[in-house]
Structure formats: structure tokens, C-alpha cells
Amino acid sequence: MNTPDAVHNDLDWPTGQRERKAYATLAAQFALIGIELIKGDPEVIGQTPYYATRYGLWKPLESLDAARDYLAKRTKAGREQELQAQ
């Protein structure tokens, strides 16, 4: 059943290469800092694959790597603000 139209099961890949697992892990990390990570609809032309949202503000993200970078910037900024407050 290796037809081009066959549904791809990501369980056939090593754990580190599963997109759904990577997305779920990142979504959980975003949730810990109060930001929701949303997966866009790939069928909609021009829509970015991922969005970060908080308080009604939306940040389009082009890939999971971009989402990781955005998360790193948010957590780094938060730690710097905490250090300045001390």
C-alpha cells in the first residue's frame, strides 16, 4: 500500500522526527508561559502553518523552527525582566 495517495502515518518515523509530537511538545511549552500555539490550515492558500496567540494578538510563524525561536525569545525576555526586578 505504498501509493502516493496513501495516508502517511508518522508512527513510521523515529520519535525525534514526528511533526505531530514536535508540535504537541511546543504547544505545551507555549502554554506554560500563557501563549497558545495553533496549527494553521494547510488547505488555505497564503495561511502560515502556525500561529502564536495571546490576548487576541496573533503572531504568524512560518515553521516549527520559527515557533521554537519565538518561544526562546519570549522566555529569555521574561527571565531578563525578572532579573532586572530583583
pTM of the model: 0.67
* pLDDT at residue 16 in the model: 57
pLDDT at 69: 93
- Give all strands (DSSP E) within 1-86, no chain letters: 36-39, 50-54, 57-61
Query: What is the 8-class DSSP label of residue 18?
Result: -
**Residues β-bridged to residue 36:** 53
Convert the pLDDT of each residue in 2-22 to its tens digit. Answer: 544 455 565 665 555 667 888
Gap between the Cα atoms of 57 and 30, Å rounded:
14
Tens digit of pLDDT for each residue in 46-75?
778 899 999 888 999 999 999 999 999 988
β-sheet with 36-39: strand ranges across:
36-39, 50-54, 57-61
- Rg of the chain over all Cα atoms, to the nearest angstrom: 16
